[in-house]
Amino acid sequence: MFALIGWLLAGIIIGGISKLIMPGRDPGGLLVTMLIGIVGAMLGGAMGRGMGLYGPQQGAGWIMSIVGAIVLLAIYRMIASRRTA
C-alpha cells in the first residue's frame, strides 16, 4: 500500500517538475500529470540502463526520471496537438 502511495506522489512531483521545466498548454489535469511522471520515470530508467548508468534492477534517479517525463511530455503534446488540429 505504501509503495503505491509512493509511486503516486513521485509521479505527481516528477510530472509537475517536467511541466515547470517545459511550460505550455497541456490537455489533462492532475491525473495526466501523475501518469506522465510515473511512465516518465520508467522511461528514464530504461534510457539510463541503455546508457549504462543503471544496472538491470535499479530504478531511475530523479534527474533521469524528470528527463524521461520531459521526453514523454513532448510526445504527448505532439499527439494531443494533432488530435485538436
pLDDT in tens, 5-49: 888 999 999 999 998 998 887 767 888 889 999 999 888 888 888
pLDDT at site 17: 92
Please tell me the pTM assigned to this model: 0.83
C-alpha cell at 73: 511530455
CA-only gyration radius of the chain, Å:
13
DSSP state letter for 56: T
Q: How confident is the model at residue 84 (pLDDT cuts 50, 70, 90)?
A: low
Q: Which residues contact 25 (CB under 8 A, 6 or more apart)?
A: none
Residue with cell 505504501: 2
Output the pLDDT for position 67. Answer: 92
